[in-house]
Amino acid sequence: MKLAFDEARKGTDTWLNPKVGAVIVKDSQVLASGHHQTFGHEHAEINTLNNLKNISMAKGATIFVTLEPCSHFGKTPPCVQRIVEVGLKKVVIGSLDPNPLVSGHGVKYLKDHGIEVENLNIKTDLNQAYMFSFNNHRPLVTLKYAMTLDGKINKFSNERSLISNSIAYDDAQDLRSNNQAVLIGENTFKTDNPQLTVRNKKMKFPPVRIVLVRDVNSVDLSKRIFENQAKIWFLSETKAHRNLPDNVEVFVGDWNVKNILNLLNEKKIQALLVEGGSKIQSEFAQAGMIDHLVIYLAPMIFGNGLGACNGQNQQIKTIEFQKPKYKFLGDNIRISTWRKK
């Protein structure tokens, strides 16, 4: 099973799918291994079967697969059907798939077809956001900001202040690449004018760039976000009465935190990165919707300015986090922590 997990980690473009690895064993010999590589393409089980020298070798063998094999027609036919067809004798799974389309159905199908199934119930953070989103019916929310030692993320609300160093900047790009969507508010959109792309990595499925705006019709189309073809979703209070680029979608509604997360859940987004500014960060904090926190602390003090969270709410609720992890990035400190359970 360890080999299967090593395989699983090789998947880089699985997008909304979990990372899954598999190994086929007979008479204590590893016959083949494989993993799910790209969203929409073959699952780990199928790739592993295809890696056998001869498909007839599957007969009577055991497959170790990190996650319950699927039992539904999605982008590809169900894996359990193929497992039965090729005559595998036993399936050992890392855990059940939390996706209700699969969960338990895969195991049941296999057992109904006379295949022995063992569930090792392994806890892993391999597909943390995937597991989280199915269990909580909303994406896992990471909040990220660069902050001075006096808790400021900007000097002024209408001008961008450089706070983090270039190593922290690169680290933040990696963080972005591990999420399926990044979200910013209107003020950050106007002031920082970010591209919200992943610059240090080629991605088949870059994160969706989500911008909260009051009126999508007032958006300045010369902003840098439009220089890139990755998806853009505007969450607007008003309908669009104008032509927008092809990669733009507009969702109209009352975009409080609850409604945002409901939309993203419907859209199957499992991991959301909130990238500011102050007001949105405060709203996510007040809604209790921060699961993971990443802070780049820069050794400077402004003495005044815009705090990391700055909201209107008068009923302040504390969110407690676990003992943080920290790491130096040059003279910046990266602090990360998970919400207390």
Report, as residue numbers or ranges, the catalytic residues: 45
State the Cα–Cα distance between residues 86 and 65, nearest whole angstrom: 16
* Cβ pair 35, 44 in contact under 8 A: yes
Q: Is 146 annotated as a binding residue?
A: yes
State the Cα–Cα distance between residues 68 and 70, nearest whole angstrom: 6
Closest CB to its own copies among residues 208, 290: 290
Is residue 256 a contact residue for its own copies (CB under 8 A)?
no
State the Cα–Cα distance between residues 203 and 197, nearest whole angstrom: 10
Q: Is 137 annotated as a binding residue?
A: no
Is residue 152 a contact residue for its own copies (CB under 8 A)?
yes
**HSE toward the beta carbon, residue 304, CA cutoff 13 A:** 1
| Least Å from the CB of residue 185 to its own copies | 15
| Least Å from the CB of residue 294 to its own copies | 10
Q: Which one of the spans 60-68, 237-245, 258-266, 302-310 is the region binding its own copies (CB under 8 A)?
A: 302-310
**Alpha-carbon torsion (220, 223, 228, 232), positive or negative:** negative
State the Cα–Cα distance between residues 318 and 118, nearest whole angstrom: 42
Q: Which one of the spans 89-97, 241-249, 261-269, 306-314 is the region binding its own copies (CB under 8 A)?
A: 306-314
* Cβ pair 273, 183 in contact under 8 A: yes
Q: Which one of the spans 85-93, 102-110, 191-199, 308-316 is the region binding its own copies (CB under 8 A)?
A: 308-316
**Alpha-carbon torsion (220, 221, 224, 225), positive or negative:** positive
Q: Which one of the spans 128-136, 232-240, 267-275, 307-315 is the region binding its own copies (CB under 8 A)?
A: 307-315
Q: Is 275 annotated as a binding residue?
A: yes
| Least Å from the CB of residue 154 to its own copies | 10
Is residue 301 a contact residue for its own copies (CB under 8 A)?
yes
Q: Footprint of its own copies on residues 93-132 (CB under 8 A)? A: none
State the Cα–Cα distance between residues 151 and 149, nearest whole angstrom: 5
Total residues binding its own copies (CB under 8 A): 48
Closest CB to its own copies among residues 50, 157: 157
Reference 335, options 141, 154, 168; nearest CA is 168
State the Cα–Cα distance between residues 262 and 186, nearest whole angstrom: 20
| Least Å from the CB of residue 316 to its own copies | 5
Q: Which residue stretches of 124-223 are H helix?
A: 128-136, 166-177, 186-192
Is residue 297 a contact residue for its own copies (CB under 8 A)?
yes
Is residue 281 a contact residue for its own copies (CB under 8 A)?
yes
- As annotated, the binding site for substrate includes 176, 196, 275
- As annotated, the binding site for NADP(+) includes 146, 188, 192, 199
